[in-house]
């Protein structure tokens, strides 16, 4: 009786796993974005720099394709107050540079979306930075 119950549970578990397979690949949470400076001087040509690393290995991620960037003042309650941001070249593996129009002091949110070679899903993050006069 006990064996039949255990066998039934095993079959049920295998059936559930077959219907919803667990991915062996990396997930979006396996990647980390870190601002190199979270306090930036107010400027129309401010440089925002971030590092992207693979948390599993600690290795820099250099081949990410940036498909989305946006800046707004959501941390200060003004999500409609946006600013221009554009990627510029990078000189260090895993470090991404952006030129931004940060002409107003306060809290800013950088939204970034990237695709990483070999990953099926995009990686998206919100990073908070402070702009000082």
Report the CATH number at residue 36. 2.60.40.10
Residue 21 resides in a domain:
no
The pLDDT of residue 60 is above 70: yes
Instruction: Name which of 53, 45, 54 is nearest 88 in CA terms.
Output: 45
- Asked if 116 and 21 touch (Cβ cutoff 8 Å), the reply is no
Helix, strand, coil abundance in the chain, percent, nearest 5: 20, 50, 30
Structure tokens at 124: 């998206």
Q: Is residue 8 part of a domain?
A: no
Is 7 within a domain?
Answer: no
Q: What tokens were used for 75?
A: 């941390």
Query: Which domain covers residue 101, as residue numbers?
Result: 27-132
The answer as to whether 76 is a domain residue is yes
Q: What is the per-residue pLDDT for 91?
A: 83
23: confidence class by pLDDT, cuts 50, 70, 90:
very low
Domain count, the chain: 1
Q: Is residue 20 part of a domain?
A: no
Question: Residue 129's beta-bridge partner residues?
Answer: 108
Distance of CA 76 to the CA centre of its chain: 21
State the greatest distance between any 2 C-alpha atoms of the chain, in Å, as a whole number: 75
Q: Are strands 31-35 and 43-54 parallel, antiparallel or unpaired?
A: antiparallel
Question: How do residues 97-115 score in pLDDT, each as one tens digit?
Answer: 999 999 999 999 999 999 9
Question: How much is the average pLDDT of 42-52?
Answer: 97
Question: How much is the pTM?
Answer: 0.77
Share of the chain above pLDDT 90, in %: 74
């Amino acid at each position: 009786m006990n064996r039949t119950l255990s066998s039934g549970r095993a079959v049920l578990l295998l059936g559930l796993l077959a219907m919803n397979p667990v991915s062996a690949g990396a997930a979006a949470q396996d990647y980390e974005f870190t601002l190199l400076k979270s306090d930036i001087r107010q400027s129309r040509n401010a440089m925002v720099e971030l590092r992207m690393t693979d948390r599993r290995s600690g290795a820099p991620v250099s081949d990410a394709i940036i498909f989305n960037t946006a800046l707004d003042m959501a941390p200060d309650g003004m999500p409609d107050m946006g600013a221009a941001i554009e990627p510029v070249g990078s000189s260090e593996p895993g470090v991404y540079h952006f030129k931004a129009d940060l002409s107003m002091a306060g809290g800013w949110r950088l939204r970034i979306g990237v695709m990483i070679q070999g990953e099926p899903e995009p990686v998206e993050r919100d990073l908070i930075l402070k702009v000082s006069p």
